[in-house]
Amino acid sequence: MRTATMKKKKKIEEPRVSCPVCGDTEKESSYEKDQGMCSRCWWFLSPEAGGTDHGLFMIRVRTKDEESGRRMAEIRPRGFWSGTIEVHEDIQHSYNDETREIVKSWNVRVTWGCGGTDGTVDDIQTAENFTRAMDHAVMLAKIWKMERQEGKEA
């Protein structure tokens, strides 16, 4: 039987390491020591990920489907702990009754979430970084859409 005088065991705090890329702190066990960055930056900037650092944000572009060449971009603004902006390229199939053929059309969409700040920059700077990343996402979506339209006409 427990008594009120029993002491609670304190959890041992794991040491934290500061990331030189984004400035956020992370538990030492999660830190990518060999890469020299936190696990979130490594997710975007590792050679396997194919990401690039644009200063105010990091971006990683992946091919979702090799056959059709569908792409997806994940953008993580500085000051956010997660990738908050995504650009998706999707193919849609529809049936044309007159020609009795299946018509392919491409759709590009931009999605975002709040993500949350990591506290490395102030609120105004975080909002500016998000705005620049969103501008880049919209520009990327327009470029992808134009590329698909030019490919259809050729």
* Residue 129 pLDDT > 80: yes
Distant-in-sequence, close-in-space partners of 44: CB < 8 Å, separation ≥ 6: 51, 53, 58, 59, 60, 74, 76, 83
- Kindly provide the b/e burial profile for residues 72-101, where b requires at least 16 CB atoms within 10 angstroms of the residue's own CB: ebbbbbbbbbebbbebbbeeeeeeeeeeee
124 SS3 class:
helix
* Residue 32 pLDDT > 90: no
Percent of the chain with pLDDT over 70: 88
Report the chain's terminal Cα–Cα distance, integer Å. 80
Residue 39 lies in a domain: no
Residue 64 lies in a domain: yes
Residue 55 lies in a domain: yes
Residue 137 lies in a domain: yes
* Residue 1 pLDDT > 80: no
Structural domain that includes position 106: 50-153
* Residue 26 pLDDT > 60: yes
- The tens digit of pLDDT for each residue in 45-84 reads 776 777 888 888 889 888 888 887 889 999 988 878 776 8
User: Looking at residue 9, what is its pLDDT?
Assistant: 63
Residue 111 lies in a domain: yes
Residue 4 lies in a domain: no
Residue 105 lies in a domain: yes
Token readout for 66 is 């090799």
Residues in the chain: 154
Q: How far is CA 40 from the centre of its chain?
A: 10
Distance between CA atoms of residues 86 and 137, nearest Å: 7
- The mean predicted confidence, pLDDT, of the chain is 82
* Number of structural domains the chain divides into: 1
User: Between these two residues, 32 and 134, which has the higher pLDDT value?
Assistant: 134
User: Looking at residue 108, what is its pLDDT?
Assistant: 92
* Residue 2 pLDDT > 60: no
